[in-house]
Structure formats: structure tokens, C-alpha cells
Amino acid sequence: MSSDLVALVEAVRAIPYGRPTDRTIAGMLRENRGTCSTKHLYLARELAARFPTTQPQLVHRVYRLTHADALRQFGATAAAAVPAAGLLDVHRYVTITLATGRVPLDATFPGPRWDGRSAMPLACGPGQDLPAGQHPDQEKRALEARYCDPAIREPFIAALSSSRPPRS
């Protein structure tokens, strides 16, 4: 199972970052680009179907991104869209159960190949984790409406889509 599991995670990570016109799994697959939301929704569904013992759980993290963190993690293009005071964002990732315990997976961006056992680093900073329920897209939109300023967040997402984050 481990090599097939790793192959699935790496295949999702290989999908270029960018918001598809149709913000659904079908749109992501058709346009070959996705965000943390579409990539992790797809990954969770594939894990549940192909590796049900992993018990995938989507998680939303509300966090603050500073300009310095954006520069270090995503590069100058994306960091230029982050105000000096930073911004609040909502990131989606998935956790799974493995022999080593419950581990987070983040397939948002490419990076070093996952070993199939360890926790993956998240493409966001520390924050408040909220397990997603039956309607993860509606829940994420509600969190974004509550915590995020679209006038700040949307230019950042657009800049992030056009930048190439530095490899860890």
C-alpha cells in the first residue's frame, strides 16, 4: 500500500497550483490546476476510496501570514501581495491514519518526496485547526467570510498562482 499511497499523494502534489475557473474537482482535473481546497478534497476522496484504512479527514486552518513568512515560503511575487500587517487566510489540508499514528498531508505544492510515513510540512503557519464536516467547501467559504478580507486575500491568491514557491 505504501508505494501506491505515496504515488497518489505525489500525483496530487504535481498538479500545478492555481485556482481553476470551475472551483470543483472536475474543474481542477480539466484545467490541470488546483488550490489547497480542490487538491485536498480530491485527495481525501481518493484516499477514502482507495485506502479506506487511512480514514482521511479534511482540516481547515485559520492562520496569519506575515510578509516575511510569505517571502520565505512562497517567494517575492506572492510576498509582494501581502501587506505589512500580514493577512488572515484559511488553508485546507488532510490528515490520515497510518501505522505511525495520525499524520497531516499537504499536497498544495511540490516538495521533497513524501516518505509514506511521516507528517508533511503544511503550506501555512501555525493557527487554529477546525476539522471539516459533511460540507467542507461551504464550511471553508464561511471561515473565509468570517476571517479573511477579500480585498487582501484575492490578490494574494492571484500572486501565489503566478509565482513559483521556493522548494523546501
**Is 168 part of a structural domain of the chain?**
no
Residue 53 covered by a domain: yes
| Mean pLDDT, residues 23-50 | 95
Query: What confidence score (pLDDT) does residue 165 get?
Result: 55
> Rounded to a whole number, what is the distance in angstroms from the first to the last CA of the chain?
26
b/e burial code for range 113-151 (CB count within 10 A of at least 16 → b): ebebeeebebbbbebeeeebeeebeebbeebbeebbeee
Specify if 112 maps to a domain: yes
At 119-131, the pLDDT tens digits run 999 999 999 999 9
Distance separating alpha carbons of residues 145 and 159, to the nearest angstrom: 20
Read off the pLDDT of residues 64-79 as tens digits, 9 standing for 90 and up: 999 999 999 888 999 9
Q: Is residue 100 in a domain?
A: yes
Domain count along the chain: 1
Mean pLDDT of 5-22: 94
The domain of 60 spans 2-162
- Inside any domain, residue 167: no
Run of H or E residues at 102: strand 101-105
Q: Is residue 65 part of a domain?
A: yes
Whether residue 64 is contained in a domain is answered as: yes
Q: What is the pLDDT of residues 41-94, one digit of tens each?
A: 999 999 999 999 999 999 999 999 999 999 998 889 999 999 999 999 999 999
Looking at residue 42, its pLDDT comes to 98
Is a pLDDT exceeding 50 seen at residue 10? yes
Report residue 160's pLDDT band, with 50, 70 and 90 as the boundaries.
Answer: confident
In a domain, 35, yes or no: yes
**10 Å Cβ neighbour count for 157?**
17
